[in-house]
Structure 1
Amino acid sequence: MHLIKLSVGVASYEELESYRDERAHWWGADYGEDVHVHRTRTMPKRADELIAGGGSIYWVISGIIRCRQPILRFEASTDREGKDCCDIVMSRDMVRTMPYPKRPFQGWRYLEPKDAPPDMGAGMEEQGGEIIAEELAKLGLL
């Protein structure tokens, strides 16, 4: 089982990668580890299933699933206003996926493994494979 989430305000994979370290510091969510943290309001009801199955967050950037980050664990937390929230602690590794169009939605959704886009093959980005795959996906051929 995986999660899928919109990366709001981010226009590219490179932009998400460039400021992901800063976000955790905005919230004071420093776990003293080399991890990336995303804060959300609620703990996923299927958290145990996500962890046990090696789940990832699939990031939707500008209407297209472009990458994923493996989820390490979920931590209950409290924000600066005293409200309960959940920190999704993820590996720093971002894995590019085959581009897959996704319409906007609010919050996050569960993503069945069978519906998750496959990881991009080694070297495809350098060879222009990502651009070709994105165009094929827009045409409904991937």
Structure 2
Amino acid sequence: MVLHLIKLSVGPASIDDLEAHQAWQRAEAVRAGRDPAPFHTTRMLPKRHAEIVGRGSIYWVIKGTLSCRQAVTAIEPFTASDGVGRCRIVLDARLVPVAPRSYRPFQGWRYLQAKDAPHDLDRSAAGDLAEMPETLRRELVSLGLL
């Protein structure tokens, strides 16, 4: 069974901002001689990580709208320098816009069943919605029109 995660993207105001932030992190990792794969660090290891890795994605909520996803390639538990256990969720570099959906703030992450996941926005499946600017999609979602 495929399972996904939903996570708030704190800081970036758009998919482009998230992409730019991750590009900066990759460049810093390359300069430091580390693996440049994008990742997100969280405190807790998802108990159902075996259902996510290699098949699932992390769906990013940006400014109150479920906006895009990234495939999860690995989940690596580790102990930080402060002695606290943490988890690194390693992601594919490609951000895929999805059909926008309004989402209320929450802490941590949430599971998302594959059957409940929004579809990817691509030109063949979504038509004009895929070509619409992200800010307009977000505004239409906030008005309840999408």
Secondary structure at the counterpart of residue 68 of structure 2: strand
SS of the residue 1:80 aligns to: coil
Q: Distance in 1 between matches of 2:121 and 2:9?
A: 19
CA distance in 1, matches of 2:39, 2:131: 31
Report Cα offsets for 1:13-59 as digits up to 9, x if no partner: 11111012445769xxx752x4211100011000001126x100000
**Structure 1 unaligned runs (5+)?**
none
Aligned partners of 1:98 and 1:130 also within 8 Å: no
Higher helix share: 2
In structure 2, the residue matched to 1:138 is: 142
In the alignment, is the contact (CA less than 8 A) between 1:98 and 1:134 conserved in 2? no
The answer as to whether partners of 1:3 and 1:108 remain within 8 angstroms in 2 is yes
Q: What's the offset of the Cα at 1:127?
A: 3.2
Q: Is the 2:14–2:134 Cα contact (8 Å) retained in structure 1?
A: no
- Matching residue within 51, 54, 68 for 2:53: 51
- In structure 2, distance between residues paired with 1:103 and 1:81: 32
Equivalent residues of 1:56, 1:69 under 8 A apart: yes
SS at match of 1:35: coil
- TM-score under structure 2 length normalisation: 0.80
Deviation at 1:125, TM superposition (A): 6.9
Deviation at 1:98, TM superposition (A): 1.3
Aligned-residue CA RMSD (Å): 2.7
**TM-score normalised to the size of structure 1?**
0.82
* Paired residues, number: 138
* Partner SS, residue 141 of structure 2: helix
Instruction: Summarize the Cα distance change of 1:118–1:40 in structure 2 as closer, same or farther, 3 Å threshold.
Output: same
Q: Which consecutive unaligned segments of at least 5 residues does structure 2 have?
A: none
**Alpha-carbon spacing, 1:110–1:31, altered in 2? closer, same or farther (3 Å):** farther
Report the equivalent of 1:80: 81
